[in-house]
Amino acid sequence: MFKIVKKQLLAQNIYLMDVAAPRVAKSALPGQFVIVRVNEKGERIPLTICDYNANEETVTIVTQVVGASSRKICALNEGDSFTDFVGPLGRPSELVQLSGEALKQKSALFIAGGLGAAPVYPQLKWLCEQGAKADVIVGAKSKELLILQDEIKAVTKNLYIATDDGSAGFKGLVTELFKQLVDVQGKKYDLVVAIGPMIMMKFVALATQAYGIATIVSLNTLMVDGTGMCGACRVSVGGKIRFTCVDGPEFDGHLVDFDEALRRQGMYRAMEKEAECRCL
């Protein structure tokens, strides 16, 4: 059993949890994920690691109530336990493979949409711990849905906010803010890491491609069982079939077939709605 030692409400229906998982905490790297089960009959849910602390032997996850299984996860409280908390799984971020000097020479921009701020944070934190610097754009529909701003500000001064309704920061999409940073403020980037809704990553990749900026995206939302056995996370990358959970979750954003990925993401929508109705 894996005890929840901390639970925090970040925004409406979005919860942060610190989970006691010593082996995972000591082995995790930025970009990896875990699979959790609420109980023995629970669904296997892949969740990207938001943070990890080897000394305290905890792993941080962030979950939003969007369906039946996420509702059960978010209903757990401090002192409750997950039956399973398996990881770390998936390939770490490409950034961890670079030397400290190579990282310092890179000019990176992270673009996070909504819940994507959670998987962006450990990569940003790790990068800054190596002495490198990075800018961050965090986007949301409104200021009430922005998460982890304080944590991000603690590791970088260059945080830019975009909200659809203009209630905080730049009014507009993250792609529009990205173009403003480059075209108006003269920012120069040689790497963009985009994590968020699939449609957001598609248009970020299209925008960065026009500027010739290498772009990494995370397709974690496609994963189901997290082992590659179910085949639900198949995606075409550069014309080749890849499995998000074992070959990713990060890929070259300019090579991903986002239209195919968007279709695959919607395959289980009807079944998920049915499961959610049973839980209400």
pLDDT at residue 159, as a whole number: 96
Sign of CA dihedral 268, 269, 270, 276: positive
pTM, two decimals, is 0.87
Contact 191, 107 (CB under 8 A): yes
pLDDT at residue 246, as a whole number: 83
The top-level CATH class assigned to 94-218 is alpha beta
CA 2/CA 64 separation, integer angstroms: 20
pLDDT at residue 261, as a whole number: 87
pLDDT at residue 268, as a whole number: 58
pLDDT at residue 257, as a whole number: 93
Rg (CA), the chain: 18
Say which CATH topology domain 2-89 has: Elongation Factor Tu (Ef-tu); domain 3 (2.40.30)
pLDDT at residue 212, as a whole number: 95
pLDDT tens digits, residue range 86-96? 989 988 988 88
CATH 2.40.30.10 intervals, the chain: 2-89
DSSP 19: E
Contact 225, 245 (CB under 8 A): yes
Lowest mean pLDDT among 14-18, 86-90, 177-181, 263-267: 263-267
pLDDT tens digits, residue range 39-82? 888 888 889 899 999 999 999 999 999 888 889 999 999 999 99
Neighbours of 94 (CB within 10 A): 17
Instruction: Detail the DSSP E strand segments found in 13-99.
Output: 14-20, 33-37, 45-48, 51-53, 58-64, 81-82, 84-89
In this structure, the strands spanning 159-163 and 134-140 are parallel
37-44's contacts with Cβ under 8 Å and 24+ in sequence apart are 37/82, 37/83, 37/84, 38/69, 38/72, 38/73, 38/76, 38/82, 38/83, 39/83, 40/83, 42/69, 42/72, 42/83, 43/68, 43/69, 44/84, 44/224, 44/225, 44/226
Peptide linkage before 122 cis (omega within 30 of 0): no
pLDDT at residue 147, as a whole number: 94
pLDDT at residue 275, as a whole number: 47
pLDDT tens digits, residue range 240-264? 999 888 888 899 999 999 998 888 7
pLDDT tens digits, residue range 91-117? 898 888 877 777 777 889 999 999 999
Residue 200 has pLDDT above 80, yes or no: yes
pLDDT at residue 226, as a whole number: 66
For the segment 226-243, the average pLDDT, to the nearest whole number, is: 81
pLDDT tens digits, residue range 122-158? 999 988 888 888 999 999 999 999 999 999 999 998 9
Helices (H), the chain: 22-27, 68-74, 100-104, 117-129, 149-153, 174-183, 198-211, 244-247, 258-265, 269-279
Residue 280 has pLDDT above 90, yes or no: no
Residue 276 has pLDDT above 80, yes or no: no
240-244's contacts with Cβ under 8 Å and 24+ in sequence apart are 244/219, 244/220
Nearest to 222 by CA among 182, 191, 195, 187: 195
> Helix, strand or coil for residue 187?
coil
> Helix, strand or coil for residue 196?
coil
Residue 232 has pLDDT above 80, yes or no: no
Contact 47, 36 (CB under 8 A): yes
In this structure, the strands spanning 14-20 and 84-89 are unpaired
CATH 3.40.50.80 intervals, the chain: 94-218
